[in-house]
Structure 1
């Protein structure tokens, strides 16, 4: 790299890091998986605390912390967790109203954030569909034994719709036939259709 190009790259990096409106500098993920971004960035640029449609602290951060404290995941499960958390966080950064936090629509932001779950859970190469059954059980325990998730299932169909979408995707895209069958069984169970086919 030439000295002129290095100088331009250095200037650009310094400008980006010092710019007060820079999403990258204020909302960057740490090198290690972290949940700090929910409070330091998301809630800052979309202040919804104590509102009906609050998502970042009561759901996003809460589950992020629950998943990071889960010590029973396999190495593949840990890779899935890290890729999923990064994906969920990066999707939100893309739509934050950095220039005008007061303009943030909490309901739309919650719907957007919830809408990223299926794609992030089933990322190519790091999909929940291909994890060992022990990881699926561990992930289920992390989600199910959390009062917030149960409350959300009672409040509306969005969480059930997401679970169904993951099961549907995995029942056709899991790498191994046995895993596709397992996801299809879970989908039938969720749909209340346990009859043999």
Structure 2
């Protein structure tokens, strides 16, 4: 399921996710400014995008891929198949980071790559 990397609206703009088309995660879970969707997810996704030009070509591709992976991992919360509280969401989402980072090639980037 392609969702596209967009950060500044809620956690991620999950525009093509199931029947919640156009919905964002924050309005669905309502964790507030310090919850995972806004206080962590959107914050750091925006930081990655703001600094994208500082990444090498491979780093930019990785940034896109990891953002997509992290968003895809949250689709169950948008389509209603998971309905946790904010703490459950945070634990689940943080738990996807290592898999997404490693699975999209973080360890093979090197410090200075093109």
Name the TM tier (shorter chain): 0.7 to 0.9
Residue deviations 1:134-156 (CA, integer Å, cap 9, x gap): 36xxxxxxxxxxxxxxxxxxxxx
TM-fit CA distance, 1:45: 1.5
Alpha-carbon displacement from aligned partner over 1:45-69 (angstroms, at most 9, x marks no partner): 1111156xx1010100000000011
Partner residue in 2 for 1:98: 80
User: Of residues 128, 133, 150 in structure 1, which corresponds to 2:111?
Assistant: 133
Q: CA deviation at 1:41?
A: 1.1
- Unaligned stretches of 5+ in structure 1? 1-23, 136-197
Q: In the superposition, relative to structure 1, how do residues 46 and 97 fare at CA in structure 2: closer, same or farther (>3 Å)?
A: farther
Instruction: Give 4+ residue runs of structure 1 displaced > 4 Å after superposition.
Output: none
**Partner residue in 2 for 1:144:** none
Structure with greater contact order relative to length (CA < 8 Å, sep ≥ 6): 2
| TM-score normalized with structure 1 length | 0.46
Kindly name which structure, 1 or 2, has the bigger radius of gyration based on alpha carbons.
1
